[in-house]
């Protein structure tokens, strides 16, 4: 092939953005298409655990080994996305002693660093653990921000010449002469950044190879290409707490079960999860009992969760896959390993490869493996560099501290901004003076929001994913209109209004699963601020207002002008005068 | 009237006795206290936290929207409300009496010359119907056809003036409007509280290297943007103690009426109103105690006999002939909930609610949420009802947000409900004692 091979990656989750970056770094011409925002599918809907491998150390040692290796790689190359929390597998009196020993041995077999703690030692580390927790295994679990991770990968792919199109849904896989030759894509609002209200359109993308990295949606792309991909999507609930009850990842040490992990994440803790097969990755029930299960079960590990406040819940679908001949009944038995499906070899359809299964922790390894496969097809011999070259934001972590002083940000804001932006801190924050905080819950300033808007257009949910703005306790109650305001006047007012409505509705959807106690009061406050004070709910923008029927003020009334607004009827029964 | 305090029994502090005890210090509690004091009885008001009035925008609404459509005459619209709404239970007269009390108590408010609602520009850029509004807000009314300039500040992201102006235009207001974003004079840091802005104007602090005072500097910055505007709207920060003077000076020197656009919390117009109302309670001889929660109540089944207030870790009994519950709704924390149920926090009065918590709200952020109507149901005398619709306690009345049956945010009726229920509860409690 004379020219540089053009590869089109479908899917803007961790795997897809990881593949796009890897291929672009190896010099290939890459286009990535994603039907929603980056992280729209499963990546944006997980608990943010960077596995140590401990979780799979008994049941799936191959996955466990991959996890621990990648865990240490990502600490280096994605520093600004990772919080090194450490993790505990805690054992309650009723949990089997034998399993605890198996877990310990499994970790050692897989080279996962471990330390055994007594109940007292574990409580010294995490004071809110239940009094009767009797033993624990410390492992190098960590928390990872999947949004930041994907955005950094996409940003770096672009730096290496890739084209990244979000809100671009694949509507057809073009097959000519028994070979995949391209894709038909529908743009929600025209190519480039998403802008509300701008016209969309259809585009045919000619390509030398398609990589299907759509996870739980892989079967749909397969259908369009006429091949069977039997992904078995499995849903899980995640419940977000308003604060960090623990600073270490807490896992329950038992073979398998629902509701067995608490992940500290930024300002919150995330409780997870369930594992239940669903037929449609986009349409499945989200039910209150699942939220209750998280709280009730995990309260056995951390009793204060019983009365603690949750701010929202969300569900994600795992893109589980196993070769059809295995036939596991229970989704918890399906391997967490990933599979590369070469459709030429498998279905006699050259030009497309799918990647299914796997997990966020091993996204880079998956990307490397499929990139190797693609490169081999085109005779590209460049090797993978993603294990060594830091992502944008993680290049130099020492620039942060000084920059904060220079930008005069108050220290909690400074700390949070620098954690999110990593080595980009200086360049991002220097663009705004003055630089007020727009989202106090998550300490997000105007400069960060504007930086995200540059990347994401008018899609405020994409801005949210990049900055965490509106993701804290108030769930957008105090900040959503401020964030939207930053779109104006670059974008016109109706566009800004639509963007704001979309953000408010997205926040509401998840918050509905947390509406009791403090969070119900918080939601009522948000409703009050937005409806009572701002009147967003009865905005007469689409109505004809009879201005003359309303009071124009005492000044106008004295002038005998304008209003015919009903005069007070002094004769009406009981209508007293004066306030004596 | 009750004379002496009750004698102390072993180790128990002497009960503090009054005729009427109001629990809660928001607009409803204050209105109830004033209405009760007006009947000549001894009144005390206890509240846990600083008054929620300070968080409110400072405009006083009655009934401004039904089914998402603006209402011009609140009294006419009362009949269109559903059964169980406090206005229906107490009658439109209670609403009128509440406003009469308000008008007789507070100065610096307008709107009493007509029953019609006024439309006030909001900081989100639309208009909001309200029955009374501060003088500082009055020149901004949307039914006035004078051209308008809106001014926002770089450091104050809550009010984006150009965007608000653009939205007002789209709403079709009967006047020309444009907006501009400026630097506020002085060296305020990016996240300064609105009170800091107000202080600079109040004290006319020298700015710009001591060249001019803050008011002059503001006038200079705004002037070149007037382009024929006859009124100029600012976020509500035009002075605190000296706000009348600040506004008058800005208006005179700009040659256009300066006005305030109501804002979210913390709110200067809300604070000014709270100060006035608390001063009025002082003048009426109401005993006021803030900062202490009611932690327990004693009843004989029929009547409330005593409540216990926690004062610096000491439980102090308070006794009265009549009690008014005005602790607020979900926002004010007078109504509490858990995963299974909703309850009233102090007297554990009955709060009707759907059994399944997923029925407490609906899809759509501004949908018809059941939670918005959570609260106690009252009889025509303002007394909370139990599950069988019998009076909970003969001498207990409820007022304000703790009363359910009204979606005050959607209806733009929060203040009116507080005034109507507060007036009824206070007046009847006082009359029963005297």
In the numeric block, which tokens belong to residue B196?
């800091």
**Are B66 and B87 spatial neighbours (Cβ–Cβ below 8 Å)?**
no
DSSP state of A41: T
Comparing C-alpha atoms, which of A578, A405, A502 is closest to residue A194? Answer: A502
Q: Do A551 and B170 touch (CB under 8 A)?
A: no
Separation between Cα atoms, residue B58 and residue B360, nearest integer Å? 29
Question: In whole angstroms, what is the distance from residue A344 CA to residue A352 CA?
Answer: 7
Among B93, B123, B143, beta carbon nearest to A550:
B143
Which residues in chain B have Cβ-Cβ distances shorter than 8 Å to A443? none
A306 in contact with B at a CB cutoff of 8 Å?
Answer: no
Are B194 and B235 in contact by the 8 Å Cβ rule? The answer is: yes
CA B139 to CA B142: how far, in whole Å?
9
Which of B104, B114, B369 shows the shortest C-beta gap to A579? B104
Q: What is the rounded end-to-end Cα distance, in angstroms, of chain B?
A: 7
For residue B132, the SS3 value is strand
Q: Which of A516, A499, A525 is nearest to A441 (CA)?
A: A525
Q: What is the CA radius of gyration of chain A?
A: 26
Which one-letter DSSP state was computed for residue A9? Answer: E
Give the tokens for residue B157. Answer: 């992201």
**Chain B nearest-CA residue for A487:** B163
Do A458 and A425 meet the contact criterion of CB atoms below 8 Å apart? no
pLDDT digits (tens, 9 = 90+) for B170-217: 999 999 999 999 999 998 888 888 999 999 999 888 998 888 999 999
Distances (CA, A) of B412 to B52, B127, B371: 17, 12, 16
Q: How far apart are CA A455 and CA B191, in angstroms?
A: 26
Q: How far is CA B330 from CA A37, A236, A516, B399, in A?
A: 35, 31, 10, 14
Dist CA A332 CA A276 (whole Å)? 8
Cβ–Cβ under 8 Å, residues A248 and A87? yes
B chain contacts of residue A569, beta-carbon cutoff 8 Å: 115
CB A448 within 8 A of CB A432: no
pLDDT mean by block of 10 residues, chain A; 580 residues? 86 96 97 92 89 94 95 93 94 96 97 96 96 96 92 92 94 96 90 77 94 95 95 93 94 91 92 92 92 96 95 92 85 86 96 94 96 95 94 68 50 72 85 90 93 93 92 92 96 96 95 95 95 95 95 80 42 35
When scoring A306, A512, A522, A539 by the number of chain B Cβ atoms within 10 A, the one with the most, hence best to mutate, is: A539
CB of A508 within 8 Å of a chain B CB? The answer is: yes
CATH architecture for segment(s) B138-261: 3-Layer(aba) Sandwich (3.40)
Return the residue matching tokens 């203040």.
B415
Q: Which residue of B has its CA nearest to A476?
A: B365
Mutation for A interface: B124, B181, B363, most A CBs within 10 A: B124
Count of residues making up chain B = 434
Contact B324, B429 (CB under 8 A): yes
Query: What is the model's pLDDT at position A580?
Result: 35
Out of A436, A537, A576, the one facing B155 most closely (by C-beta) is A436
Q: Which residues contact B353 (CB under 8 A, 6 or more apart)?
A: B341, B342, B360, B370, B374
- How many helices (H) and strands (E) are present in chain A, helices listed first? 18, 23
Helix residue ranges, H only, A208-356:
218-225, 288-298, 343-347
Contacts of A458 in chain B (CB under 8 A): none
**Cβ–Cβ of A550/B189 closer than 8 Å?**
no
CB contact (8 A) between residue A554 and residue B191? no
Please give the Cα distance from B309 to B300 (Å, whole number).
18
C-beta atoms of B263 and A533 within 8 A: yes
Tell me: the pLDDT tens digits for B287-336?
999 988 999 999 999 999 999 999 888 899 999 999 999 999 999 999 99
8 Å CB contact of B116 and A569: no
Are the beta carbons of A546 and B102 separated by less than 8 Å? Answer: no
What number of H helices and E strands is found in chain B? 11, 21
Please say whether the beta carbons of B377 and B58 come within 8 A. Answer: no
Residue contact B143–A551, C-beta within 8 A: yes
DSSP-derived secondary structure for A453-509: HHHHTT-HHHHHHHH-TT-STTTTTTTHHHHHHTTTTTS-HHHHHHHHHHHHHHHHH
C-alpha angle A149/A155/A156, rounded to 5°? 90
pLDDT of residue A257: 80
Superfamily of segment(s) B16-106+271-433:
FAD/NAD(P)-binding domain (3.50.50.60)
Structure-token pair, residue A419: 């954690």
Give me the phi and psi of B303, to 5 degrees please.
-130, 155
Substitution target from B79, B409, B414, B420 for chain A, most A beta carbons within 10 A: B409
- Do B116 and A576 lie within an 8 Å CB cutoff? no
Distance (Å, rounded) from C-alpha B62 to C-alpha B70?
A: 12
DSSP A191: S
The tokens of B150 are what?
């809106």
Distance between CA atoms of A219 and A12, rounded to whole angstroms? 16
pLDDT confidence of residue B145:
96
What pLDDT does A560 receive?
52
Which chain A residue has its CA at the smallest distance from B187's CA? Answer: A434
Domain edges within chain B: 16-106+271-433, 138-261
Q: Do B139 and A497 touch (CB under 8 A)?
A: no
The whole-number pLDDT of residue A578 equals 33
Give the 3-state secondary structure of residue B432: helix
Beta strands (DSSP E) in B229-362 are 231-235, 257-261, 287-290, 294-299, 304-311, 314-325, 335-337, 342-344
According to DSSP H, which parts of B113-193 are helical? 161-171
Burial label for A134, CB within 10 Å (0-12, 13-18, 19+), is middle
**In whole angstroms, what separates CA A238 from the centre of its chain?**
12
Q: Nearest-CA distance from A496 to chain B in Å?
A: 9
Q: Name the residue among B103, B110, B119 with its Cβ closest to that of A550.
A: B119
DSSP letter assigned to residue A281: T
Q: Which residues contact B313 (CB under 8 A, 6 or more apart)?
A: none
According to DSSP, the residues that pair with A170 across neighbouring strands are A185
Q: Round to whole Å and give the CA distance between A382 and A380.
A: 6
pLDDT digits (tens, 9 = 90+) for B95-118: 999 999 999 999 999 999 999 999
Residue B13 distance to chain A (closest CA, Å): 33
Compute the distance between CA of residue B208 and CA of residue B206 in angstroms, rounded to an integer.
Answer: 7
* Cα distances (Å, whole numbers) of residue B421 to A521, B37, B53, B112, B402: 22, 16, 16, 19, 10
The helix, strand and coil proportions of chain B, stated in percent and rounded to the nearest 5, come to 30, 25, 45
Distance CA A552, CA A547 (A): 8
Query: How much of chain A is in helix, strand and coil states, percent to nearest 5?
Result: 40, 20, 40
- Output the pLDDT for position B7: 45
Structure tokens at A515: 């509406």
The length of chain A in residues reads 580
Gyration radius from chain B CA atoms = 23
Tokens of B338: 């858990």
pLDDT reported for residue A323: 86
**What is the rounded CA–CA span in Å between residue A534 and residue A137?**
52
- Give the residue ranges of chain B where pLDDT is below 70: 1-12
- CA dist B330 and B32 (Å) reads 20
């Amino acid at each position: 092939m004379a020219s540089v091979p053009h590869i089109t990656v479908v899917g803007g989750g961790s795997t897809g953005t990881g593949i796009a970056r890897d291929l672009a770094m190896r010099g290939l011409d890459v286009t990535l298409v994603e039907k929603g925002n980056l992280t729209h599918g499963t990546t944006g809907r997980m608990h943010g655990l960077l596995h140590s491998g401990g979780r799979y150390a008994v049941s799936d040692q191959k996955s466990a080994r991959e996890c621990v290796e990648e865990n240490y790689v990502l600490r280096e190359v994605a520093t600004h996305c990772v919080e090194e929390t450490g993790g505990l597998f805690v054992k309650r009196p009723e949990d089997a002693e034998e399993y605890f020993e198996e877990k310990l041995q499994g970790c050692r077999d897989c080279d996962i660093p471990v330390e055994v703690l007594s109940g007292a030692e574990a409580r010294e580390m995490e004071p809110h653990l239940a009094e009767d927790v009797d033993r624990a295994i410390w492992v190098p679990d960590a928390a990872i921000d999947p949004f930041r991770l994907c955005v950094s990968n996409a940003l770096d792919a672009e730096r290496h010449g890739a084209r990244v199109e979000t809100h671009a849904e694949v509507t057809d896989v073009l097959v000519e002469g028994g070979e995949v030759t391209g894709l038909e894509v529908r743009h929600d609002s025209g190519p480039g950044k998403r802008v509300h209200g701008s016209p969309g359109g259809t585009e045919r993308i000619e390509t030398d190879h398609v990589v299907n990295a759509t996870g739980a949606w892989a079967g749909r792309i397969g259908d369009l290409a006429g091949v069977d991909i039997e992904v078995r999507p499995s849903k899980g609930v995640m419940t977000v707490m308003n604060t960090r009850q623990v600073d270490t990842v807490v896992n329950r040490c038992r073979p398998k079960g629902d509701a067995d992990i608490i992940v500290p994440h930024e300002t919150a803790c995330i409780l997870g999860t369930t594992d239940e097969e669903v037929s449609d990755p986009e349409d499945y029930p989200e039910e209150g009992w699942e939220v209750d299960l998280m709280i009730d079960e995990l309260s056995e590990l951390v009793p204060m969760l019983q009365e603690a406040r949750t701010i929202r819940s969300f569900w994600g679908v795992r893109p589980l896959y196993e070769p059809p001949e295995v036939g596991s009944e229970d989704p918890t038995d399906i391997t967490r390993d990933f599979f590369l499906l070469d459709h030429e070899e498998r279905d006699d359809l050259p030009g497309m490869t799918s990647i299914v299964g796997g997990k966020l922790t091993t996204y880079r390894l998956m990307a490397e493996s499929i990139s190797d496969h693609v490169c081999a097809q085109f005779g590209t011999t460049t090797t993978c560099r993603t294990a060594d070259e830091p992502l944008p934001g993680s290049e130099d972590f020492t620039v942060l501290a000084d920059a904060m002083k220079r930008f005069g940000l108050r220290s909690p804001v400074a700390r949070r901004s620098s954690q999110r932006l990593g080595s980009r801190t200086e360049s991002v924050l220097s663009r705004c003076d003055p630089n007020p905080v727009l989202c106090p819950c998550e300490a997000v300033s105007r400069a960060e929001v504007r930086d995200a808007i540059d990347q994401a257009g008018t899609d405020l949910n994409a801005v949210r994913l990049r900055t965490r703005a509106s993701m804290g306790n108030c769930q957008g109650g105090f900040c959503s209109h401020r964030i939207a305001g930053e779109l104006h006047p670059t974008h016109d007012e109706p566009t800004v209004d639509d963007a704001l409505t979309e953000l408010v509705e997205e926040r509401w959807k998840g918050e509905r699963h947390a509406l009791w106690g403090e969070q119900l009061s918080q939601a009522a406050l948000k409703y009050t601020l937005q409806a009572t004070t701002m009147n967003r709910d009865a905005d007469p923008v689409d109505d004809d207002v009879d201005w003359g029927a309303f009071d124009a003020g005492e000044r106008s009334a004295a002038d005998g002008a304008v209003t015919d607004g009903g005069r007070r009827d002094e004769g009406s029964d009981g209508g007293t005068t004066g306030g004596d | 009237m009750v004379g002496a305090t009750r004698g102390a029994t072993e180790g128990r502090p002497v009960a503090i006795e009054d005729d009427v005890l109001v629990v809660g210090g928001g607009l409803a509690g204050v209105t109830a206290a004033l209405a009760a004091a007006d009947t000549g009885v001894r009144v005390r008001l206890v509240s846990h936290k600083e008054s929620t009035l300070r968080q409110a925008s400072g405009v006083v609404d009655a009934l401004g929207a039904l089914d998402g459509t603006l209402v011009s005459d609140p009294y006419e619209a009362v009949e269109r409300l559903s059964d169980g709404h406090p206005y229906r239970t107490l009658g439109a007269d209670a609403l009128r009496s509440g406003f009469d009390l308000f008008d007789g108590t507070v100065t610096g408010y307008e709107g009493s010359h007509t029953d019609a609602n006024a439309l006030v520009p909001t900081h989100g850029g639309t208009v909001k119907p309200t029955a009374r509004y501060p003088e500082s807000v009055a020149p901004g009314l949307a039914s006035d056809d004078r051209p308008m300039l809106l001014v926002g500040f770089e450091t104050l992201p809550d009010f984006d003036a150009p965007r608000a102006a653009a939205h007002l235009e789209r709403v079709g207001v009967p006047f020309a409007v444009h907006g501009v974003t400026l630097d506020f004079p002085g060296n305020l840091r990016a996240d300064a509280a609105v009170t800091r802005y107000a202080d600079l104007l109040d004290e006319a602090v020298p700015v710009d290297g001591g060249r001019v005072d803050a008011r002059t500097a503001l006038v200079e910055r705004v002037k070149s943007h007037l382009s024929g505007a006859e009124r100029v709207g600012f976020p509500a920060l035009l002075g605190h103690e000296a706000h009348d003077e600040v506004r008058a000076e800005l208006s005179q020197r700009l040659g256009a009426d300066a006005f305030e656009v109501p804002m979210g919390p913390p709110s200067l117009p809300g604070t000014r109103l709270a100060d006035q109302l608390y001063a009025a309670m002082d003048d009426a001889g109401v005993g006021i105690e803030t900062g202490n929660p009611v932690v327990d109540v004693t009843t004989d089944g029929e009547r409330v006999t005593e409540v216990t207030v926690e004062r610096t870790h000491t439980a102090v009994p308070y006794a009265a002939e009549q009690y008014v519950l005005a602790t607020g709704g979900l926002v004010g924390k007078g109504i509490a909930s858990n995963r299974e149920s909703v309850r009233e926090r102090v007297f554990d009065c009955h709060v009707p609610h759907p059994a399944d918590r997923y029925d407490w709200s609906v899809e759509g952020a501004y949908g018809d949420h059941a939670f918005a109507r959570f609260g106690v149901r009252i009889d025509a005398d303002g007394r909370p009802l139990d599950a069988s619709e019998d009076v909970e306690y003969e001498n207990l009345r409820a007022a304000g947000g703790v009363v359910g049956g009204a979606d005050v945010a959607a209806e733009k009726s929060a203040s009116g409900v507080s005034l109507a229920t507060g007036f009824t509860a206070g007046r009847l409690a006082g009359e029963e004692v005297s």
